[in-house]
Structure 1
Amino acid sequence: MTTNNSTITIHTDGVCKRNPGPGSWAAIIEDDKKRFLIANRVGQTTSQRMELTAAVKALSVLNRHVGRPIRLVTDCQVLVKGMTEWLVGWKASGWRKSDGKPVLNVELWRQLDVFNEKHTITWEWVRGHNGHHGNEEADALANRALIEGRISEEVYL
């Protein structure tokens, strides 16, 4: 990624066969100069866990780019609502939902909370499998990782 102040866009997706079952996550990180594709497969997991993991892994890559605005685009409404609507309440109630049950995947939510405090992130939901290019590409990458395993590719524009 370049050192300018242009927005970094991240497209993420997670897939899981037989939820729960084998799964994978993927992220496409791009600015005006470069695209970075990362993905990996996981054994027993859930689709929601893969969606959250994709965001965590992508934001981990950007840890040294503090100060640059980030736009994270996902087809996971739980991720967007969690970060924009529910997070404050979860933290205030000791990471419990409104029904008193513990928040699932709390370790991933905690990591996302740290990134959210450190960076200026816009969380954006798009309908999955609806022709949105970045989402379709992230989905294809996640499905590729389900077969191939770890993927890490850098493309200069």
Structure 2
Amino acid sequence: MKEVIVYTDGACSYNPGPGGWAAVLLYGEHRKEISGGDPDTTNNRMELQAVIESLKLLKTKCKVKIHSDSAYIVNCFHQKWYVKWEREGFKKNPDLWRELLALTRKHDVEFIKVKGHSNVELNNRCDELARAAVPRA
């Protein structure tokens, strides 16, 4: 099984407000950077979108190590909050959580917590890309 390393980040000017997301995917010698934005969103939605968009790029089942500074996402998977959320119909961001869970079930995914703004090169790169993707009025 291919192993892909992913770094993700989301950014939001005001919360809610315009936001951006970004991911850096590494596979062997290959590196791909992706990003996008939304004129009216929240930081948590952008964090989720970054993970979703990175997983959507994978064409076959992969072992994926996702590095994120989002406690919302990492803790959800480490502590299995999504089990209760799914059972109860998701109170927040149901569209994105449903999509993310469907994608994580197609792969062998491990979530790794990265301390934000702590000189982790690829996390910093994602932050830079996410901020650049925030739509400007």
Q: After TM superposition, is the score higher than 0.5?
A: yes
Give distance in 1, aligned partners of 2:2 and 2:105: 19
Give distance in 2, aligned partners of 1:91 and 1:18: 28
Give distance in 1, aligned partners of 2:134 and 2:42: 13
Given candidates 61, 64, 67, the residue that maps to 1:70 is 64
Give distance in 1, aligned partners of 2:34 and 2:56: 11
Query: Residue 88 in 1 paired to residue 76 in 2?
Result: no
Cα deviation for residue 6 of structure 1 reads 4.2
Count residues with an aligned counterpart.
135
Q: 8 Å contact 1:24–1:40 — kept in the other structure?
A: yes
**1:10 corresponding residue in structure 2:** 6
Q: Which runs of 5+ in 1 are unaligned?
A: 96-101, 149-157
Runs of 4 or more off by more than 4 Å in structure 1?
none
**1:23 corresponding residue in structure 2:** 19
User: Which amino acid in structure 2 is aligned with residue 137 of structure 1?
Assistant: R
Cα deviation for residue 33 of structure 1 reads 2.0
Q: Percent identity?
A: 33
After superposition, the CA RMSD in angstroms is 1.5
Indicate how the Cα distance of structure 1 residues 116 and 146 shifts in structure 2: closer, same or farther if over 3 A, else same.
same
Q: 8 Å contact 1:6–1:32 — kept in the other structure?
A: no
User: Which amino acid in structure 2 is aligned with residue 41 of structure 1?
Assistant: G
Query: Residue 47 in 1 paired to residue 35 in 2?
Result: no
Q: 8 Å contact 2:39–2:134 — kept in the other structure?
A: no
User: Considering only CA atoms, is the larger Rg found in Structure 1 or Structure 2?
Assistant: 1
Cα deviation for residue 53 of structure 1 reads 0.6
Instruction: With the length of structure 1 as denominator, give the TM-score of the two structures.
Output: 0.81
SS of aligned partner of 1:41: strand
Q: Which runs of 5+ in 2 are unaligned?
A: none
Give distance in 2, aligned partners of 1:80 and 1:136: 18
SS of aligned partner of 1:69: strand
User: Which amino acid in structure 1 is aligned with residue 88 of structure 2?
Assistant: S
Indicate how the Cα distance of structure 1 residues 34 and 44 shifts in structure 2: closer, same or farther if over 3 A, else same.
same
1:63-87 Cα deviation digits (max 9, x unpaired): x121x21000100010112223201
Given candidates 27, 30, 43, the residue that maps to 1:34 is 30
Give distance in 1, aligned partners of 2:12 and 2:88: 30
SS of aligned partner of 1:7: strand
Cα deviation for residue 92 of structure 1 reads 2.6
**1:118 corresponding residue in structure 2:** 106
